[in-house]
Amino acid sequence: MLYLGPELKNWRSKIVWALFLLGLGAAATLFANTPIFRMPTPASDPGSQVTFNRDIAPIIFRSCSTCHHPGEAGPFPLLTYSDVRKHARQIADVTEARTMPPWLPEPQELKFADDLHLPVSQIDLIQRWVEQGAVEGNAADLPPQPKFAEGWRLGAPDLILKAEKPFILPADGSDSYWNFIFRVPIEQTRWVKAIEIHPGDKRYVHHANILVDRGAMSRKREAEPGAGFGGMEIRIESQTFDPDSHLLFWKPGTVPYLEPDGMALRLDKGTDLILNTHMQPSGKPEVIQPTIGIYFTAQPATKFPMLLQLENDLKLDIPAGQKDFVVTDKFTLPVDVDLLAVYPHAHYLGRDLQAAAILPDGTQETLIHIPRWNLNWQAVYRYAQPVILPKGTTVGLRYVYDNSDDNALNPNHPPVRVRAGNRSSDEMCHLWLQVLPVNTDARQGDPRMLLQEALARHNIEKNPSDFEAHYNLAAMLQARSKIEEARREYEFALRIRPEDAAANNAMGSVLLASGQPGDAITYLMRALKARPDYFDARYNLGNALASQDDFAGASEQFRLALEVQPNDADVEANLGSALAEMGHFSQAKIHFERALQINPNHVLAKENLEELERATSK
Amino acid sequence: MWRTGSAFWGSLSQVVIVLIVGMVAAEFVLAQNHAFDLDGKAVDPFDAASGKIVVLVFLRRDCPVSSRYAPVIRRISAQHERDASFWLVFPDKTETPQTIRQYLRDYSYYLPALRDPEHVLVRLGQVQITPEVAVFNRKHELVYDGRVDNWYVELGRSRAAATTHELEDAIQAAADAKTPAMKQVRGVGCYISDLN
């Protein structure tokens, strides 16, 4: 027999990453585009006259006007004396209470890039100004009003995408969480340097996150194409080792920023971007239709950051009425990293959120401390300078939850037992760390795999019945050709979720790769029972049957695979091989040619076609 | 027209507040200190409400908390339509009938609105914040002033839903000819004094 059989090396497995809230970095230096205002230098004499023009305007222009100008999130402008005068006492109150400017972290040694924290001296100055009657002062003292760019802050984007259908935010009721799907119309892989998010009416959108959906998994959740779908927290499965790496976040006042040198987000044909938005009703119905502007770069990424998630949702089982419920997690880094940004996340019971790093020499650094958490002002916090965390550093979180009636934001009145979950009335205990592995040894392979493997092992330690941790660990081991260990982890995963389509398919692929097609078939059939349109499982089943010389069965599976995904060169080539094995040469030729139409460089199809021509010309 | 109190103190150039055993009767005088309807006509919200409870709801268009309350105010005013006359009162003197009309359309309000540029009603209702309400009983004595409910804890922090309902409690008490449990609870929102 001259024909090459189906190429077993083409087996595919899907890796499910427990992914959530990921995207390309934003936030950045809030005032990068605005002039530096001189800071007030009032007389230290507390009795001296404070004036708007000399003392207050510089504070307002620097710390308030960015959001408080027309078209931005602030509900009223703060650009002139009369604007500020109309809210003077309110400004004194909210700055003293540190409600405004919205900045949750305490001051700390490690500085953040866009720190909005007002110094006490400025808060005191505003108090004195209001107490003294909010005097305007000498016109000559007034600094120039800040100028704000209109439209796209980064200039005209290379690609502008508008949500296909708007979301109508109801006038009343609780907060809304809506996801808009942007189908990115690109024909080949492009690298993204920045994405500017225009979330619709900024006054009502509290924050928005972009998630990268490489497998168009979220479309299934839309009632009709383009409609978007509800949900506060969403998960997206990924097909390949493509760990999320960037935090693409918008909150009021965010100025979009360009990724640093060497970093970029890869977008492939068929990738969807999901904009996850949190909105608050305004009292009247609002039409929310976001737009995003994408800026490409010709330079592919050379640096690959990764998002590490510390979490301990399993421990979130908070008795009704408990005031100080503490949850912790800690993880020791297996490689040197630069920490670029952090993103703490809890819901309405979260009160005090802290994260710290203990370096190998024992020194402790506070990474972030939010003593009075407020979900409405959650944000990604980017460090002014990368934080060097050597291998062996332990990063940890400590979150305190208040499930008593004293917590006014408690969604339940009276309080009830609360556990982890995706609804806003459930809780969460998450901390994302954006890290860039450094000082890596190329012989060790992709350092992100080492991080992912260590994280999966850590998660299994915390929760031996964590399906995703077993699955991800197995996938890491499989990628590093540790087939036996991978198989063991998939077995654990399948004990937890026996019917899971992805785990059954992955197990099938491991068995197939280790020369056990008979066993593989059982798992692959189970994967297809759970998900009949599972392309990869069809393909793998076709290969498994072909390995057992069941070419009729194999060609049936390949045909079914093509119904799910019509333009796949591998499937066409393998279908051709199976048909050739059965002696259906003319049909086989059609499929080899089709494979070559899809991919003119498809080696198997080319070789088999030549072989077929030789055989039939005899 | 304007009723004058059976007894009042102070000169005619001031708003007159009559204190009756700790309550303020809704009596006010003087041509230049009127509240105005959207046609510019001086209006006494108590005139048309003989024997009815009167609720004044103080709003600022530039106060997002005021605006978020629109569905709540609409609901409560509809529920108590039989017992109480509701008036929306705008204390910002820079507001025009046009801007207020647009606002009423935007927020689907079908309640009568008044401009209160001289804060005659603000003083009468003893309110300080928008949104706050002043509730006058059937005898038009002030029985409650302050927040609608406890939805907002502070600016930027609101409960999923209010757990106390001071405005509705006050209306119910007034309808039952009783004294409300709370006489005054300050609201969360924007200072009216910032408009001075």
> Which amino acid does the sequence have at A535?
F
Bridge-based pairing state of the strands B84-90 and B53-58: parallel
Tokens of A264: 């970029």
DSSP three-state, residue A220: helix
**Shortest distance, CA B114 to any CA of chain A (angstroms):** 20
Residue A36 has pLDDT above 80, yes or no: no
Q: What is the pLDDT of residue A14?
A: 32
Residues A283, B153: C-beta atoms closer than 8 Å: no
Residues B67-104 as b or e (16 or more Cβ within 10 Å = b)? bbbbbbbbebbeebeebbbbbbbbbbeebeeeebeebb
Using alpha carbons, list the distances in angstroms from residue A27 to A41, A73, A206: 30, 15, 14
Cα distance from B68 to chain A (closest Cα, Å)? 4
Give SS3 for A126: helix
Residue that the structure tokens 């008044």 belong to? B114
Q: Which of A349, A343, A310, A315 is nearest to A329 (CA)?
A: A310
Degrees to nearest 5, angle at CA B165 with B160 and B166: 140
pTM listed for this prediction: 0.83
In angstroms, the CA A128 to CA B53 distance is: 42
- Cβ separation B108–A284 shorter than 8 A: yes
Convert the pLDDT of each residue in A282-330 to its tens digit: 999 999 999 999 999 999 999 999 999 999 989 999 999 999 999 999 9
Domains of chain B by range and CATH? 35-195 (3.40.30.10)
- Using CA atoms, how far apart are residues B97 and B38, in angstroms rounded to an integer? 5
d(CA B193, CA B196): 5
Q: Report the run of H or E that residue A396 belongs to, with start and end.
A: strand A394-401
Main-chain phi, psi angles of A53, to 5 degrees: -60, -40
DSSP-H helix ranges across chain B: 64-68, 70-79, 97-106, 120-125, 166-175
Q: For residue A174, what pLDDT band results from cuts at 50, 70 and 90?
A: confident
Token look-up 């990453």 returns: A17
Break chain A into its structural domains and give their ranges: 8-14+462-617, 52-141, 159-297, 306-460
Q: Which chain B residue lies closest to A203 (C-alpha atoms)? A: B64
Q: For A476-494, what is each residue's pLDDT tens digit? A: 898 888 899 999 999 999 9
Query: Which pLDDT tens digit goes with each residue over A404-445?
Result: 999 999 999 999 999 998 888 899 999 999 999 998 777 777
What is the rounded CA–CA span in Å between residue B134 and residue B53?
A: 11
Report the share of chain A in percent with pLDDT over 70. 91
CATH tag for A306-460 (out of 3.30.930.10, 2.60.120.230, 3.40.640.10, 1.10.630.10): 2.60.120.230
Which residues of chain B have a CB within 8 Å of the CB of A413?
A: 159-161, 163
Architecture of domain A159-297: Sandwich (2.60)
ipTM, two decimals: 0.84
**Contact at CB, A75 and B69, closer than 8 angstroms:** no
A166: burial class by Cβ within 10 Å (0-12, 13-18, 19+)? middle
Contacts of A408 in chain B (CB under 8 A): 153, 157, 159
Are the C-beta atoms of residues A377 and A105 closer than 8 Å to each other? no
Q: Is B159 on the interface with A (CB under 8 A)?
A: yes
Q: What tokens were used for B126? A: 């003893």
Contact flag B161-A174 (C-beta cutoff 8 Å): yes
Chain B residue at shortest CA distance from A377: B156
Residue-wise pLDDT for A534-551, tens only, equals 999 999 999 999 999 999
Rounded to the nearest angstrom, the gap between the alpha carbon of residue A528 and the centroid of all alpha carbons in its chain is 29
Query: In one letter, which amino acid is A618?
Result: K
pLDDT, position A67 = 92
Residue type, A371: P
pLDDT value at residue A44: 53
Tell me how far apart the alpha carbons of residues A425 and A232 are, in angstroms, rounded to a whole number: 10
Element (H, E) at A454: helix A447-462
* A273, A159 contact by CB (below 8 A): no
- A488 to chain B, closest Cα gap in Å: 46
Residue pointed to by tokens 């002002």: A377
Contacts (Cβ under 8 Å, ≥6 apart) of A72: A66, A148, A202, A252, A253
Assigned superfamily of A8-14+462-617: Tetratricopeptide repeat domain (1.25.40.10)
Q: Cβ distance A527 to A504 under 8 Å?
A: yes
Which chain A residue's Cα is nearest to B66? A283
Q: Which residue of B has its CA nearest to A77?
A: B62
Determine the pLDDT at residue B176.
96
CB contact under 8 A, B67 and A283: yes
B96 touches chain A (CB under 8 A): no
Answer whether A76 touches B (CB < 8 Å). Answer: yes
- The answer to whether the Cβ–Cβ distance between B63 and A75 falls below 8 Å is yes
CB contact under 8 A, A86 and B68: no
Q: Sign (positive/negative) of CA torsion B81, B84, B85, B86?
A: negative
Flag whether residue B11 sits within 8 Å of chain A, measured between CB atoms. Answer: no
DSSP helix/strand/coil, A160: strand
Q: Do domains A159-297 and A306-460 have the same CATH topology?
A: yes
Residues A272 and A294: beta-carbon distance below 8 Å: no
Range among A439-443, A564-568, B65-69 with highest mean pLDDT value: B65-69
Tokens matching residue B88? 């929306």
Q: Cβ atoms within 10 A of the Cβ of A597, count?
A: 13
Establish if A587 touches chain B: CB-CB under 8 angstroms. Answer: no
- Most A-contacting residue of B59, B68, B193 (CB-CB within 10 A), to test interface: B68
Amino acid at A86: K
Q: In terms of DSSP bridges, do strands A291-297 and A248-250 run parallel, antiparallel, or are they unpaired?
A: unpaired
Q: What pLDDT, on a 0 to 100 scale, did the predictor assign at position A175?
A: 86
pLDDT at A353 over 70: yes
**Encoded tokens for B147:** 């927040």
Q: A286: left (phi > 0), else alpha (psi -120 to 50), else beta? A: beta
Q: What share of chain B is helix, strand, coil (3-state, %, to 5)?
A: 25, 25, 50
Distance, in Å, from the CA atom of A540 to the CA atom of A524, rounded to the nearest integer, reads 7
In tens, the pLDDT along A361-410 reads: 999 999 999 999 998 888 999 999 999 999 999 999 999 999 999 999 99
Judge whether residue A163 has pLDDT over 60: yes
What does the radius of gyration of chain B's CA atoms come to, in whole angstroms? Answer: 16
The token duo for B118 is 């001289």
Indicate if the pLDDT at residue B144 is higher than 80.
yes
Inter-chain CB proximity B69 and A90 less than 8 Å? no
B10 contacts chain A (CB < 8 A): no
Classify each residue of A303-337 as buried b or exposed e, where b means 16 or more C-beta atoms within 10 Å of its C-beta.
ebbbbbbbbbbbbbebeeeeeebebebbbebbbbb
A52 contact B CB<8A: no
Q: Chain B neighbours among A 88-117 (CB < 8 Å)?
A: 88-90, 93-94, 97, 99-100, 102
Residues on chain A touching B131 (C-beta within 8 angstroms) = none
Quick one: pLDDT at residue A233? Answer: 77
Query: Could you tell me if A233 lies within 8 Å of chain B, comparing CB atoms?
Result: no
Phi and psi (nearest 5°) for A209? -130, 140
For residue A468, count CB atoms less than 10 angstroms from its CB and return exposed for 0-12, middle for 13-18, buried for 19 or more.
Answer: buried
Q: Which chain B positions have a beta carbon within 8 Å of A377's beta carbon?
A: 156
Question: Tell me, what's the pLDDT at A207?
Answer: 87
pLDDT of residue B33: 45
Q: Determine what percent of chain A is predicted with pLDDT higher than 90.
A: 70
Q: What is the mean pLDDT of residues A32-43?
A: 42
Phi, psi of A360 (to 5 degrees): -55, -30
Give A76 to chain B, closest Cα distance, Å: 6
Task: Find the closest chain B residue to A372 by CA distance.
Answer: B157
Cβ contact B194–A86 (<8 Å) = yes
pLDDT, tens digit (0-9, with 9 covering 90-100), for B13-60: 444 343 444 444 554 544 444 799 999 999 999 987 788 999 999 999
Average pLDDT over residues B82-99: 96
